[in-house]
Each structure stands twice: as C-alpha cells, then as structure tokens.
Amino acid sequence: MHMLLNRFIFSILALFFLVLWIQGSSQGIPDTAFNQSIRVQNGGWVAGDATFSIYLPDNRTLWLFGDSFIGTVNEDSSLAPGASMIRNCAIVQEDEIMFALYNGSFGEPEDFVSTNYPDSTWFWPEHGMVENDTLKIIFSEFGKTDGTPGWNFEYLNAWIIYLSYPGLEYINQVKLPYFEENGVMYGDRLLEHDGYTYIFGRKPVSPDYNIPMPHIARVPSGDILSEWEFYDGNHWTSNSSSSKKISDQPVSQQYGVFKYQDKFVMITQEIWLGTHIYSMVSNQPYGPWSNLEVIYITPLPYEDMFTYNAYPHSQFNDNNELLVSYNSNGDFFEIFNNIELYRPRFLRIPYSTIHPSFTSSDIIEQNERSELILYPNPSDNSLYVKIPDTEVTFEEAVLFNARGEKVGVFTISGISYNDNYIKVPTKNLATGFYIINIGSSFGRFIHK
C-alpha cells in the first residue's frame, strides 16, 4: 500500500547487549538532527542549561542559556583546557547559522547580561518578547547562600533586560516589584493573546515546602511595564497579593505555555529532578488546565545524571510534532570529561499525544502506521530490521549514539519492504544506546 507521507524515518532507540532494550517513553522521539544543530560551531558556547528560546519577528530564534561553558570540545567529548563557565549566554539562530553572544573574549568570557553586583549575584534567563523595536527579556537574579555546594543559591528578584532590536545591544535593566509583594517568580513564558501579554510564573506552596505552582499575570500589549493584573482564581485584579495558582499540578522551575490551534498547551517536568515530562491543555491561558499527559520519560544514559526543566519551542513545529528540550546535568567535575552530561537534549512530541483534538490530515493515522521489529544477531554482529509488506523503497540507514553523534551510514538502495529485512552491521559498535534512522524514497517520518 502506498503511504502518502511528507517525511518517512523510522527511529528506534535500542540497546545492544545480546538483547534489545527499548528505552524511554513511546510518546516522544529524540530529534537527532536538532541535537546535532545545537552543537555546531557558534563562537564558543559548547554547553549550558535553561534552554529558553524567543522567536523573533524576523524569523530568527534567540536561545538563552544559564550557566554555560565557553571553550572547545575534544573528539572524545571532553572539554579542552582553557574552557570557562559564565552565568548566562545567548545564541542567535538564523536558519542553519548560529553564533553565540557573551561579553569579554573567547579566552576570557563574561556573562551576556550582568547584575549590578556581579561579584555576589548573577542572572539566569527567563522568557521575553519584542515590544516597539526593543527586545525585553525577564532575567531572574540569584545570590549565594551557605547551603550545599552546587545548590547554595537563592532567588532574589526578577528584572527586565532591554536590548535593541534587531541589533540585540544592551540598553538597560529594570527591576520588577512583584516578587516582594506576592512571592511569585515571573518570567517562565510571555505570551501575546487578545490584546494582552500574559506573564507566567511559579510560586512555592509555602516557605517550608518547595513545591512550585503556576501563577499568571497580564498587562495590555505594548508596554510590559504598565500596570499588571493578577488572576485570583476567578477574576483579574490589580492587587498582586491576590494572585492564586492556576492549576493544582506542580510545575518545574521552568515551564512553557503556547497556543496551538484553539487551545493553550503547557509543558512542564516532574519536580525535584524527576524524569517525567508532562503536558496539559486549557481553553484560556489562565485555565482551568486539564488532560494531564506523560509525554516523555527522560533516559539517564550516564552515571549520576539527572534531567530537569523541559521547555517547548513551538516555532519549530514540524509534521504536526512539537519540539521540546530538557536539560541534563551530573557531577560537576565529570562534566569536564564528558560535556554531554551538560548539554540540552531535544525531542519531538506528536501533538495528537497531547490532546486528541490535535490532528492533521497530512500525517498517517495511528492504525495505518507500519510496525518495525528489530532482531539483534550476535552470531554475525548484525541487527536485522523486519518490515511489513509495502511498496516503499529504502535508501540508507544512519546510526547515532546516545550523544547524538553519527557513528555509521549504511547505503541500502534497492532494498524494499518486500525483502522483509534490512541488515545493519554492528560489529564495530560498543555496547550502548543507539538511534537508527532509516530513510525511504518517500522522504522522512518519525515512527515510534
């Protein structure tokens, strides 16, 4: 049967250890191409967390990262001597071209944006938007505490950083007053809708329980520094202390909201470094939020690795799938030996898994998708991919390792579904996780 597809890739996560082990949730698929693109030469940035993105009116994307390494990566993924860490960094993406923004020099880099007291406090990024030829980004100010090293910091305040647009030159910074009034940390997402800018934030349920809950404020479009309104659970009010949570579902310290079709979508991650990534939907930006779904479970391929703060990047929608990032981290000193511990990871989430109303006529229905079966064969060091009967012709198989690095390309022109099997040699592969991308004559499509 002919399958009219815009893209046709079969992606399978496999573990070769005489047996095959499927890793992670079936809802999402790692986007190996995007993982590669964020690792290209950009002027110095090689790793970081936070991973916010702002879609600019000229179709560029501004990526914002927290603690970032500036330097060079060796072929074995270790950091070359001389690498430095700064508290925040930006990358401008224009099509396939990326370049990093930070102060200082490659050899002696400094933060992209600094606080008024850089010796004792620093900025980590939130979200932003362009207003009146000015890019306005919320940054959270943090300071040191006497806690456990690596976790010895505390939130102080939110600031709006003004940058020229399109030049992205620093102009000034303005402190927001609301954290001192209601304890909400604003900036997770700035969203334009029906004449308002909605500002999403989070607030712990109490000082004794660090369980962040989502809150929302709004301001008339065009001037984010005009008078804000706050949602009290039923109405909008000018009283900031009346702000109430907009959902009973806890959110991570970084979460995102965007509009898709006729609904609003929230993407967040399990709190306290959990591996579950969730989605919720609502008819309004302030809720009620429902349809809680686990859309991905992050794999942990390295010892002592943890993941956190998933975030959506809806400007990169493709084939009715959402691009989502999450951050990875681990032992600080081990990062110097393996920078992959501290790089963002990207995946694709089919919109139909977020809500059943999100459908598209240009993708194949779930019950029409062809099923692949994989058989590792240790006797001849090969992996056999069994395919059902159809008339699609294959062209190549590409193997990626867990770090997103291409480790093999195998031309399979002339092999079609009707031959029943594709044979992929694995003799020279070490034990570990691999992603197999099998391209067909119809193009590429991600199959779970």
Q: For residue range 388-404, list pLDDT tens digits in order.
A: 555 555 566 766 655 55
Residue 219 has φ and ψ, to the nearest 5°, of -150, 145
**Which DSSP string corresponds to 73-112?**
B-TTSPBPTT-EEES-EEEEEETTEEEEE-EE-SSSEE-S
- DSSP H or E run through 32: helix 32-37
Residue 12 clears pLDDT 80, i.e. is over it: no
Q: Look at residue 243 in the predicted model and tell me its pLDDT.
A: 99
Strand pairing partners for 350?
321
pLDDT digits (tens, 9 = 90+) for 22-41: 334 447 899 999 998 888 88
pLDDT digits (tens, 9 = 90+) for 84-142: 999 999 999 999 899 999 999 999 999 999 999 999 999 999 999 999 999 999 999 99
Residue 37 has φ and ψ, to the nearest 5°, of -65, -35
Contacts of 86 by beta carbon, 8 Å cutoff, 6+ apart:
67, 68, 70, 102, 109, 110, 111, 112
Contacts of 151 by beta carbon, 8 Å cutoff, 6+ apart:
none
pLDDT tier for residue 208 given thresholds of 50, 70 and 90? confident
For the residues 337-341, what does the mean pLDDT come to? Answer: 96
Residue 289 clears pLDDT 90, i.e. is over it: yes
Spatial distance between the Cα atoms of 198 and 220, rounded to a whole number of angstroms? 9
Spatial distance between the Cα atoms of 33 and 398, rounded to a whole number of angstroms? 11
pLDDT digits (tens, 9 = 90+) for 39-86: 888 889 999 999 999 999 999 999 999 999 999 999 999 999 999 999
Give the range with max mean pLDDT: 185-194, 200-209, 377-386, 402-411: 185-194
Percent of the chain with pLDDT over 70: 75
Domain boundaries defined on the chain: 366-447
Residue 369 clears pLDDT 90, i.e. is over it: no
Q: Which of 89, 93, 115 is nearest to 102 (CA)?
A: 89
Q: Look at residue 379 in the predicted model and tell me its pLDDT.
A: 59
- 3 state DSSP class of 270: coil
Is-contact 360 407, C-beta < 8 A? no
Give the residue, 438 or 312, on which the prediction is more confident: 312
Give the residue, 67 or 415, on which the prediction is more confident: 67
Spatial distance between the Cα atoms of 56 and 192, rounded to a whole number of angstroms? 13
Residue 352 has φ and ψ, to the nearest 5°, of -65, -20
- What is the architecture, at CATH level 2, of domain 366-447? Sandwich (2.60)
Q: Look at residue 386 in the predicted model and tell me its pLDDT.
A: 61
Q: Look at residue 396 in the predicted model and tell me its pLDDT.
A: 66
pLDDT digits (tens, 9 = 90+) for 230-280: 999 999 999 999 999 999 999 999 999 999 999 999 999 999 999 999 999
User: What is the residue-averaged pLDDT of the chain?
Assistant: 84
Between the alpha carbon of residue 207 and those of residues 151, 153, 183, 210, the distances in Å are: 17, 15, 10, 7
Spatial distance between the Cα atoms of 298 and 25, rounded to a whole number of angstroms? 8
Between the alpha carbon of residue 106 and those of residues 45, 51, 62, 341, the distances in Å are: 9, 21, 20, 22
Contacts of 274 by beta carbon, 8 Å cutoff, 6+ apart:
none
pLDDT tier for residue 146 given thresholds of 50, 70 and 90? confident
- For residue 273, count other CB atoms closer than 10 A to its CB: 12
Between the alpha carbon of residue 392 and those of residues 2, 71, 383, 410, 438, the distances in Å are: 7, 45, 20, 18, 12
The single-letter DSSP state of residue 240 is G
Q: Look at residue 387 in the predicted model and tell me its pLDDT.
A: 58
pLDDT tier for residue 173 given thresholds of 50, 70 and 90? very high
pLDDT digits (tens, 9 = 90+) for 266-288: 999 999 999 999 999 999 999 99
Q: Look at residue 21 in the predicted model and tell me its pLDDT.
A: 32
Q: Which of 85, 83, 78, 80 is nearest to 338 (CA)?
A: 78
Q: Which of 55-59, 175-179, 376-380, 413-417 has the lowest mean pLDDT?
A: 413-417
**Which DSSP string corresponds to 319-384?**
TTEEEEEEEEE--HHHHTT-GGGGS-EEEEEEHHHH-TT---TTS--GGGSPP-EEEEETTTTEEE
Q: Look at residue 401 in the predicted model and tell me its pLDDT.
A: 59
